[in-house]
Amino acid sequence: MLVHNAVKGDSRVQKTARSAADAGWDVILLGRSKDRQAHTWQEGAAEVRLIPMSSPLTKRPHDFRRRWLRGPLAYPPTGVAAYRHQSVKAWRADLRVRQSLLVLAARSGRPPAALPLRRAALRAQQVLAKLVAGWVGLRYRQLNRAQEARRRLTGPWDRAQAFVWQKVMGDRAWRKLEPRLWDFELAFGPVIDKLKPDLIHAHDFRMVGVAARAAIRGRAAGRDVKLVWDVHEFLPGINPGGNTAQWLPGLRAAEREYGRYADAVITVSESLGDLLVQEHGLKQRPYVVLNAPHGTHTPDDDELDLPVPDIRAICGIGPDVPLLVYSGGAAVQRGLDTMVEALPQLDDVHVGFVVPSATDPYVQQLLARAAELGVADRVHLLPYVRFWQVVPFLSGADVGVIPIHHWPNHEIALITKFFEYSHARLPIVVSDVRTMAETVRRTGQGEVFRAEDVTDYVRAVRAVLADPKRYRAAYDEPGLLERWTWEAQAEVLDEVYTRLLPGRPGPQTG
């Protein structure tokens, strides 16, 4: 099983590995080490190995070249610019100290005879240092501007180059557009070959190529290697963020080249399955494995004495204080700013953000805005907990919030936190992204508001807080929560494996 991240924090990957191992499959989950050191541990009966990986191909050839047109006076991109900039600052700092020494000498009872000459020499050096600093600053700024312009690869030449590569190479163009995918291949490929797997389960778009090439090599060696591609997101619908303009076309080309080698495709929703059929011309509809939480979970032996953290105790609030919770990644398109902006209109309401990193720039921006609005004491950063603790941890809140913006991938799935809130029996306040909004309206488990509309969000929150029992009652519908459990999804996963490898190994029996 392959994933491009460090496993911890990716609940779908963790649950998939555990469930497959519990069903009797011999599972080794390979992830990427964050510190270039190998790590290993057990995830239930599955073995996890984090692979050290260097990323030299993250840099492109142009990162090592001068930008003569964009910055004719710019320093070369060798690091000399920072060295020269710091050297000039040190020189001017030294001159300031020498100036102070001359001032002290003039105040003394016995100023040196050469003091006027020394002052004149110092002034000349100060003028020269200022000129040099201006010259260094000019060259440094030209370098920075040129590098920033090239970082996104959005210029006419970049677009023309991407167009030509795609026309000439077709789906193989990712080798030119997104060559850093090779870094994953060179790190993971040899490990997979040594393991000689019967089945490779590739999570998402970065690993499908690694898995397909390993399967091809295995088949060439005489082994009938099966490939399962687990699609977490619709790649064309992803916000590329700060990546280059060639990032998305490159990854889409890699998906198209290698997705066809998959013996089975798994995804997170029927809607995404429809899009994958259209995008890749799949002959068989993908299996749907929802991002649902465990209905029940027995911790490993070393986890038995780990208590579930008390969300209200961490926030420092009592049981009667209204608490809204958001759990998941923090980014602008996740809409967390809507929750902060609304607090001045929601007296006594507190907000808890269960996010991966308290130092994330966006999270820090949210805290700064809360301070500006005078509500900083009602915003709490909460730590991630073990995946089997998530539901009981969240259940201490009053409302689960999903304020995400309109993006293609946000429209098509019931995301992990939706199911976690549901099993925590929390009323849900969700923006009007299609699939989740339709589900909430159908079940009556919460309220829908217009995405990015603070006023409408306040209305929805007030409605839920005014009558929470009404919304919680939706979870009493027979079979609703049972359908939204990982145990039900694990049966689909085992069905896929068993179809591809009939008779091996069969479920474990007591």
User: From residue 314, how far is each of 124, 293, 379, 381, 425 by CA, in Å?
Assistant: 61, 23, 12, 9, 20
Average pLDDT over residues 463-492: 94
How far apart CA 290 and CA 62 sit, in angstroms, is 42
The predicted structure's pLDDT at residue 306: 76
The predicted structure's pLDDT at residue 70: 62
Q: Which of 152, 179, 207 is the last residue of a domain?
A: 152
Q: DSSP code of 287? A: E
User: 264 and 365 share a domain?
Assistant: no
Kindly state whether residue 239 falls inside one of the protein's structural domains.
yes
User: 43 and 81 share a domain?
Assistant: no
Structure confidence at residue 65 as a pLDDT band (50, 70, 90): low
Whole-prediction pTM: 0.75
Q: How big is the CA angle at 258 (ends 257 and 263), to the nearest 5 degrees?
A: 135
The predicted structure's pLDDT at residue 112: 83
Kindly state whether residue 4 falls inside one of the protein's structural domains.
no
The predicted structure's pLDDT at residue 150: 60
Kindly state whether residue 505 falls inside one of the protein's structural domains.
no
User: 188 and 248 share a domain?
Assistant: yes
Residue 408 has pLDDT above 90, yes or no: no
Report the range of poorest mean pLDDT among 55-59, 309-313, 338-342: 55-59
Q: DSSP code of 179? A: T
Q: Residue 10's closest CA among 408, 384, 480?
A: 384
Chain centroid to CA 320: how far? Answer: 34
Summarize pLDDT for 8-47 with one digit per residue, the tens.
Answer: 878 899 999 999 999 999 999 999 998 889 999 999 899 9
What mean pLDDT is reported for the chain? 89
The predicted structure's pLDDT at residue 151: 59
User: 376 and 476 share a domain?
Assistant: yes
Q: Which of 152, 173, 195 is the last residue of a domain?
A: 152
Q: Which domain holds residue 52?
A: 11-57+160-288
Kindly state whether residue 300 falls inside one of the protein's structural domains.
no
User: 105 and 17 share a domain?
Assistant: no
Structure confidence at residue 297 as a pLDDT band (50, 70, 90): low
Kindly state whether residue 299 falls inside one of the protein's structural domains.
no
> And the tokens for 14?
């963790």
Token pair 């359908």 is found at 483
Kindly state whether residue 366 falls inside one of the protein's structural domains.
yes
User: 426 and 444 share a domain?
Assistant: yes
How far apart CA 391 and CA 117 sit, in angstroms, is 78
How far apart CA 310 and CA 313 sit, in angstroms, is 5
Residue 154 has pLDDT above 50, yes or no: yes
How far apart CA 180 and CA 63 sit, in angstroms, is 14
User: 32 and 99 share a domain?
Assistant: no
Chain centroid to CA 432: how far? Answer: 23
Summarize pLDDT for 135-152 with one digit per residue, the tens.
Answer: 998 888 887 777 666 656
Output 450 or 298, whichever has higher pLDDT.
450
Kindly state whether residue 501 falls inside one of the protein's structural domains.
no
Domain CATH code at residue 231: 3.40.50.2000
Structure confidence at residue 300 as a pLDDT band (50, 70, 90): low
Residues 80/74/153/257 CA torsion (nearest 10 deg): -40
Summarize pLDDT for 387-401 with one digit per residue, the tens.
Answer: 788 899 999 999 999
User: 253 and 269 share a domain?
Assistant: yes
User: From residue 430, how far is each of 141, 419, 499 by CA, in Å?
Assistant: 44, 13, 38
The predicted structure's pLDDT at residue 148: 65
Report the range of poorest mean pLDDT among 146-155, 253-262, 332-341, 485-494: 146-155
User: 400 and 464 share a domain?
Assistant: yes
Strand ordering across the sheet containing 39-43: 28-32, 46-51, 39-43
User: 394 and 446 share a domain?
Assistant: yes
The predicted structure's pLDDT at residue 467: 96
Could you list the beta-strand ranges (E) of 379-444.
379-382, 399-402, 428-431
User: 355 and 454 share a domain?
Assistant: yes
Report yes or no: 351 and 376 within 8 Å, Cβ to Cβ.
Answer: no
The predicted structure's pLDDT at residue 510: 40
Structure confidence at residue 449 as a pLDDT band (50, 70, 90): very high
Report the range of poorest mean pLDDT among 18-22, 247-251, 277-281: 247-251
Percent of the chain with pLDDT over 70: 91
The predicted structure's pLDDT at residue 503: 78
Q: Which of 254, 288, 322 is the last residue of a domain?
A: 288
User: 323 and 265 share a domain?
Assistant: no
Kindly state whether residue 108 falls inside one of the protein's structural domains.
yes
The predicted structure's pLDDT at residue 108: 83
Number of structural domains (the chain) is: 3
Structure confidence at residue 66 as a pLDDT band (50, 70, 90): low
